[in-house]
Amino acid sequence: MEILLFIGIQASGKTTFYLRHFFETHVRISMDLLKSRHRELLFIQTCLASGQRFVVDNTNPTLEERARYISLAKRARFRVTGYFFEPDPAASSERNELRTKKHRIPPAGLFGTLKRLERPGFDEGFDELFRVKASGGVFDVVRMA
């Protein structure tokens, strides 16, 4: 039983990483899809109650925002793994511009998230942490110590 918590600014490659590595094994929970915290919580509760592995594919930039997922997971005895998508604002901005107009994030939103982004640490309750760098469609994943 595990939760994967993605951490990174918009257009950093989180959803593409999910599709390539976890689509067949983990349910994807995302505010982009669910549109409300109430729906998100219902999906999370279902995964926790049924022992279903899942990914939280949101920006999760601050310790406070991550804490709600970590505390729920720990109470359900889920393993918590974080994936920190190393910020590359220029590359994220370029990827953002390639999105359809409906899915494009205003630059102020992208850079606002960057300003709030706090590097995750084991003291938050993570069992494992990875750093992810996206470059040219390739993901370099390194275990954080």
Q: Would you state the structure tokens that stand for residue 45, as one six-digit string?
A: 């509760």
What pLDDT score was predicted for residue 20? 96
Q: Given the DSSP bridges, would you call strands 138-143 and 128-135 parallel, antiparallel or unpaired?
A: antiparallel
10 close to 109: Cβ distance less than 8 angstroms: yes
113 close to 59: Cβ distance less than 8 angstroms: yes
What integer is the mean pLDDT of 57-82?
97
Domains observed in the chain = 2-143 (3.40.50.300)
Secondary structure percentages of the chain, helix, strand, coil, to 5: 45, 25, 30
- Asked whether residue 133 carries a pLDDT value surpassing 90, the answer given is yes
* In the block, residue with structure tokens 């994220």: 92
- Find the helix or strand (DSSP H, E) in which 5 lies: strand 2-7
75 close to 111: Cβ distance less than 8 angstroms: no
- Asked whether residue 107 carries a pLDDT value surpassing 90, the answer given is no
Strand partners, 79: 2
For residue range 16-37, list pLDDT tens digits in order: 999 999 999 999 999 988 999 9
